[in-house]
Amino acid sequence: MSRVSIPDLGEIVGVFRKEYAKTPKLVKVVDCFIVYAVTTALLQYSYMLICGSFPYNAFLAGLGCSLGFAILTVCFRMQINEGKMLEKVFADYCVACIFLFLVAISYVG
């Protein structure tokens, strides 16, 4: 197994950029949403590291909510085929989001 060197990494990133530009616009919007959700999760985690984790259940609820929302959006993205949005998938996504937020709010206390 030969080592992967820095030029190879640059090549991978370049190829990825080129291929990614081909994805439909709708899917790119969803991808931004995923990045945003993961960022909120990271922000919450770093806040916990700085300021302590009291109250613990609020921290867990917030973190679980952001991570859950990120994963939900990933599932949604996987089901949107080539930028074509089906009503059923979107309805599922809304129901799941509402449920997740409900549970997280009830746990934040």
Partner 1 sequence: MIGPIFSSLTSISTYLMVRQIRSRGAGLLAASFIATIPSYISRSVAGSYDNEAVAIFALTFTFYLYLKSIRTGSMFWGVCASCSYFYMVSSWGGYTFIINLIPIHALALLIIDKFSSKLYTGYSMFIINGTLLAMVLPVVGFNAVETSEHFSGFFVLALMNGVALVKYLKGTLTEAAYKKALRLFVTTSIAVMGVISLGVITFAMTSPTLRWSGRSLSLLDPTYASKYIPIIASVSEHQAPAWSSFINDLRTAIILMASGIISCFRPLSEGSLFLVIWGVLSVYFSAVMVRLMLVLAPVACCLAGIALSDVLEVLCRSAKYSSDNNQPETQKVEKKKKGKQSSNRRNSASGSKYGLIPRSLALLGIAGIIFVLSYHLFHCSFLGGEGYSSPSIILQSRSRDGGTYVFDDYREGYSWLRENTDYDAKVASWWDYGYQTTAMADRTVLVDNNTWNNTHIATVGRAMASPEKKAWDQFRKLDVDYVFVIFGGLVGYSSDDINKFLWMVRIGGGVYGDIKERDYIGEGYYRIDEKASKTMLNTLMYKLSYYRFAEIVGRDGQDRVRGTKMGNPDVKLTYFQEVFTSKHWMLRIYKVLDKPNLAA
Q: Which residues bind partner 1 (CB under 8 A)?
A: 1, 4, 8-9, 11-12, 15-16, 19-20, 23, 56-57, 60-61, 64-65, 67-68, 71-72, 74-76, 78-79, 88, 91-93, 95-96, 99-100, 103-104, 106-107
Spell out the residues 6+ positions from residue 40 whose beta carbon is closer than 8 angstroms to its own.
66
* Least CB distance to partner 1 at residue 25 (A): 16
62, burial (CB in 10 Å: exposed 0-12, middle 13-18, buried 19+): buried
| 58-to-36, 108, 109 alpha-carbon distances in Å | 20, 4, 7
